[in-house]
Structure 1
Amino acid sequence: MSTKIGIVGAGLIGRAWAIVFARAGMAVSLYDVDAGALDKAREAIRQSLVDLKQADLIEDMEATLALIQTESDLAQAMAGAVYVQECGPENTEAKRRIYSALEGVVAEDSVLASSTSGIAASRFTDHLRHPERCLVAHPVNPPYLIPLVEVAPTPFTSEAAVSRTVHTMHQAQQVPILVRKEIQGFILNRLQGALLNEALRLFRDGYVSAEDLDKTVRHGLGLRWSFMGPFETIDLNAPSGVVDYGQRYGPLYRDVDRQRGDDDPWDEATLTALDRERRERLPSSDLAERQAWRDRRLMALMAHQRTFFSS
């Protein structure tokens, strides 16, 4: 019998998770209180599967689609689910309500994982009877194209729940990493936030245009980072490895770090100026088309990487 996965929320992330699990041969029950949202989700999932088929990233889209069932009754949707992926609002109180409802309808040994982008799971699971089976499994959007999943347990999460989550992610052909201690934003968004904060300051203070900043990542850092991380990068960028690199360039990075203020780079004036430059290059009316272009490029990159990486 196929492993049954329950998904709470039929929005963008919930639909993407449904594809991830069904593509791996798992039965998926996609729940949303809004029946209309479920109808839209099914059509959106079908279109994504068509795109994956055209990119040779899926063999049988109809078989995958057949594994995804939709349900507007929570108890029926979660019946028999051994693993639940919650994709509700990015709001602590809303998640507390969702988890209270889930605890009333799932088996005691079902793992409850949240897709939250930055809220520590202990903040919305500490009131439950069984918080030991709760944790975060944070994907990168869209998870059916970008396989990284941050597995972030709470201080109360059992080792069994962590192991089952990691195993489920491997089964689903994702790449899980373990966040060893709870921290706001987890790993990926803290790294992304550091780059975005510095990028906004450099733009705001007149050092670089928005387009040239993007070129710096697109044609510079991004090329290396698409197949190796920052630690491997510096290990290979000095004759004798990491310590040698630190001795050569550590003083530079320390000085740069001291120059950063603690001011907020996300102020309205900076974002307005950035939006003005971005809209000159990409009108708002073209955003959806460009998003589809992004996904097709990700599909091509994913197909290319499958030739070289086994995980």
Structure 2
Amino acid sequence: MNTLPNSDGLLILPRLRVQNANAISSPLTHGFPSMTAFLGLMWALARKLEAHDLPLAFDSVGVICHDFDEQVTEGGYVKAFRLTRNPVGKDGGSAAIVEEGRMHMEITLIFGISGGFVELDDRAHDAIAQTVAHELAGMRIAGGSVLPSSDWRSRPAVLRFGDDAEDVRRRFRHLRRHWLPGFALVCRDDLLHARLDQLREAAPETTALDALLDLSRFNWRPVGPDAESDGASATTAKVEWKPEPRPGWIVPIPVGFGALSELMPAGEVQSARDRNTPFRFVESVYSIGQWISPHRLDNAAQLLWYASTDPAAGLYRCRNDFASRLSA
């Protein structure tokens, strides 16, 4: 299993305003782009920066959401995406509507970086951060356009880790206050495993999908009166329905892809986007994520996501070590 790379510092791109990003993160979830989109952005940005020959490499990425506006209809319990009918067909008629979920959002991106930048001074670090921000301004983030911002809080920065662990913690505590108000997305595989074990105590045939669905909804449980404190019989006792406590703001999230077929040679599958890369049919892999306030983060490693691949098992997923580092 892959582990979080040992980064030498952080590259912070704060308060990015993104318009019309993809709000549909998987066939089953919506509301915020998948972390696979942000890892893809990281790799695309690294390729863009090759022309600048910067002394750094991207290892991981974290995201903090400050504001979002999903483009859905207002009013009522059931909502629908605001859809557009474009472009027109060859005959000038209207094309069929394609289901596209869009959202506007304001986010902070934090990249774990390593390389020779650690030997440079603060002025060089500022130049590196400005170069990265300039390249990102012309790219897409989860399909959305980056809008210009005059907010003084949107200034990019490079944070270099030193040998003094206490100094690193102090600087990170100072940095996380700048990310308020906002919420950071972390992975909570541990909550999914715990709920699966809990459900299997009553129903041994329970699957991981059952546990995922149970955590993804609001559950109301009947609560009866205490038999010792209430002398009423079981038949006349009043039962009260109460919502089940939830361990924070948890949501179902896609965390990667699982293989549906063997790895096929490049060019063998028709209509593949890339004819020079081996091809494999995959489906989404799901887990539980949690939105937490940045001031609850103890270190950058709890925030960062990284790629983990196991081609033999057909698993390609994003990982985050928040739960393991929290227990440690």
Whether TM-score is above 0.5 comes out as: no
> Normalising TM by the smaller chain, what interval?
under 0.3
- Give 1 or 2 for the bigger CA radius of gyration: 2
Structure 1 length-normalised TM: 0.26
Structure number having the greater helix percentage: 1
TM-score (norm 2): 0.25
